[in-house]
Amino acid sequence: MRTKKFLFATIFAMMAACVMMNTSCTQYVDEAAENGGSMQLADKATVKLRFTSPEGDDVSVSQSARPLTHPMTRAELAANGNAMTDLYIFDYDKASGKLLQVLHQTADAEDFAEPSLSLDYGDHTLKVIATRSETPTLLSADGSLWSLADNTAFAVAADAAAPAVLTSSKNSDSFGAVQDVSIGVGQNQSINIQLERIVAKLTVKNTGTYPEDCSTLQLQLDEYKQWDWQTFAATGKVSNLRIADVTRYAGKTSSSLFYYFLVPKDGYTTDITFTMNRKGSTEPYTSFKLSGITLQRNHVTMISGSFYNRHPTFSLTLNDAWGEEQSVVEF
């Protein structure tokens, strides 16, 4: 009994000292009854994440107004004025590579773009994807759906299969980052994570006039459909058909279509077959192939020409500044 009273007195004295010194102290747990009077340290710390981009202007976190039903403001993660809709954070044990927890935030989360995570003491690797792609989905290695509740950190059991890839029904602007983090005893902290664009943008500009009976414009090309969490790289390369409804452009001139593609670190080249279809006919206006089109991360490739001519001519632009255009090749 005397030992237990002394232990309680020691704990209270330490807590009082922490309060007087205005410092954040490690939480102590009294387990005298369970383990003979020893004290244990709490084994987690709170880490707040913030996001930036290399140039400081592509990705920004700002305060945006809520709808009238929620008059307070909240953070918005945006790139070139377009808001990201989904944020994925994977927390790995650095030494073993074991996935510890997953957080999927949606844009309506109270702390979207500025989440706080509870991390075990030790060394971690955080992998992050921010995207505005349509219906992003996590899949297991066998291709089955890997589901979790939105906006709540999900602890992955030691014997559980981890999600293998992220895919979506339609890719859009997306960013990623891998960052090592060391968590020491009592070290609640804020961490800045630098996001980098992991997609290429393809702009298809028709400089001529769309016919009144135009229907769809098709692109047949190679593209990567998945993002691998283990290698943190684009994977799942397939030949894919992109079909765009262009009826809204009938009679208009110089309209553009935009496409986004997941891209490996060093980019890739692909042939693209264009087919311009018309209403009420199986015979297209024209179809042709362009070979060796380059797609690179954080670059815009523009293909510009009169697509509905029987013998079209085109210019090809590869732009290393996302918001600008720079002519490279004409043919």
Measured between alpha carbons, how far is residue 108 from residues 89, 113, 150, 285, 316 in Å?
16, 10, 10, 44, 39
pLDDT single digits (tens) 184-225: 887 899 999 999 999 999 999 999 999 999 999 999 999 999
Domains belonging to the chain, first-starting first, are: 44-197 (2.60.40), 199-330 (2.60.40)
The tokens 């989904």 sit on which residue? Answer: 86
- The whole-number pLDDT of residue 316 equals 76
Torsion of CA 140, 142, 145, 147, to 10 degrees: -30
- The whole-number pLDDT of residue 78 equals 86
- The whole-number pLDDT of residue 60 equals 63
Q: What is the mean pLDDT of the chain?
A: 82
Phi, psi of 135 (to 5 degrees): 45, 60
Average pLDDT in the 273-300 region? 94
Decide: residue 245, CB within 10 A, 0-12 exposed, 13-18 middle, 19+ buried. Answer: exposed
pLDDT more than 90, % of the chain? 63
- The whole-number pLDDT of residue 105 equals 96
* 79 pLDDT tier (thresholds 50, 70, 90): confident
Least confident of 68-72, 216-220, 277-281: 68-72
- The whole-number pLDDT of residue 328 equals 35
- The whole-number pLDDT of residue 149 equals 92
**How far is the C-alpha of 6 from the C-alpha of 126, rounded, in Å?**
42
